[in-house]
């Protein structure tokens, strides 16, 4: 009998090959888009995380986020009791965030173009780590200075159910399953839609282990 690892592996290998699934007027899931890049990305990700390790942050409301966060690029996203913001320094080390790996930037720029956003110049990449049970409550990405550029989101490891809502928190959400190697690009009229991640199910991914890592690239400054 194949165990959960074998099942997940089969899912990654057998699901629809690279295709563009539209999930909003200006939002797309690029299935498996990052799979050919993963081998080059992982050593860079390890370097980034050695310099700025994952840490659990506290929201302004006093809740500890279940996803652990890090960042790379000129700016990194932080939350604490005084609010959400981008900072040039990692508050943990008081040093600049690790530089954004060239291969990550390249992947994101090509993915953005694939979705119709031709001049994406990301300067920040937020890295989220979810262990089984961790989730992300509905939120809008609105700490960036300009909303004219899209957000590019790369999923690695365990699958997730992504919730894609509307412009009001109470709007109905659509469920989108995201797998290892999938890239979501959204922007334009969809840029400020509420979104979140349902609690990650138990499992062990053959490449990433018992976790999901999500990288979101933005133009923050």
Could you say which of ligand MD6, Fe ion, none residue 153 binds, taking C-beta under 5 to 8 angstroms by partner kind?
ligand MD6
Q: How many CB atoms lie within 10 A of CB 37?
A: 18
Minimum distance of ligand MD6 from residue 216's CB (angstroms): 5
d(CA 53, CA 55): 6
Binding site for ligand MD6 (CB under 6 A): 128, 136, 141, 151, 153, 162, 184, 186, 195, 197, 214, 216
Whether 203 and 109 have beta carbons less than 8 Å apart is answered as no
Could you say which of ligand MD6, Fe ion, none residue 191 binds, taking C-beta under 5 to 8 angstroms by partner kind?
none
- Which residue is closest to Fe ion by CB? 141
Helices (H), the chain: 4-14, 38-51, 102-114
Whether 71 and 90 have beta carbons less than 8 Å apart is answered as yes
Minimum distance of Fe ion from residue 50's CB (angstroms): 25
Question: What mask, x for binding Fe ion by CB under 5 A, covers residues 134 to 163?
Answer: -------x----------------------
Question: In the complex with ligand MD6, which residue's Cβ is closer, 35 or 161?
Answer: 161
φ, ψ for residue 89, nearest 5 deg: -110, 145
Minimum distance of ligand MD6 from residue 157's CB (angstroms): 11
37: CB partners within 8 A, 6+ apart: 103, 107
Q: Give the single-character DSSP code of 99.
A: P
Q: Give the single-character DSSP code of 152.
A: E
Could you say which of ligand MD6, Fe ion, none residue 136 binds, taking C-beta under 5 to 8 angstroms by partner kind?
ligand MD6
Position 190 contacts Fe ion (CB under 5 A): no
Minimum distance of ligand MD6 from residue 184's CB (angstroms): 5
Binding site for Fe ion (CB under 5 A): 141
């Amino acid at each position: 009998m194949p165990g959960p690892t074998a099942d997940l592996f089969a899912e990654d290998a057998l699901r629809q090959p690279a295709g563009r699934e539209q999930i909003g007027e200006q939002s797309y899931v690029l299935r498996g888009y990052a799979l050919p890049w993963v081998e080059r990305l992982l050593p860079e990700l390890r370097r980034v995380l050695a310099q700025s390790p994952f840490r659990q942050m506290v929201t302004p409301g006093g809740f500890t986020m279940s996803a652990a966060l890090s960042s790379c690029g000129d700016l990194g996203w932080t939350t604490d009791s005084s609010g959400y913001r981008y900072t040039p320094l990692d508050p943990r080390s008081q040093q600049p965030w690790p530089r954004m790996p060239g291969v990550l930037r390249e992947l994101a720029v090509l993915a953005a173009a694939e979705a119709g956003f031709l001049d994406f110049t990301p300067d920040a990449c937020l890295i989220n780590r979810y262990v089984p049970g961790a989730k992300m409550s509905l939120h809008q990405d609105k700490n960036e200075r300009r909303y004219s550029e899209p957000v590019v989101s790369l999923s690695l490891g365990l699958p997730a159910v992504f919730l894609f809502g509307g412009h009001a928190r109470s709007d109905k959400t659509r469920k989108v399953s995201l797998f290892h190697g999938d890239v979501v690009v959204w922007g334009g009229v969809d840029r400020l839609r509420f979104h979140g991640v349902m609690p990650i199910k138990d499992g062990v991914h053959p490449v990433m282990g018992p976790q999901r890592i999500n990288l979101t690239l933005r133009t923050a400054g």
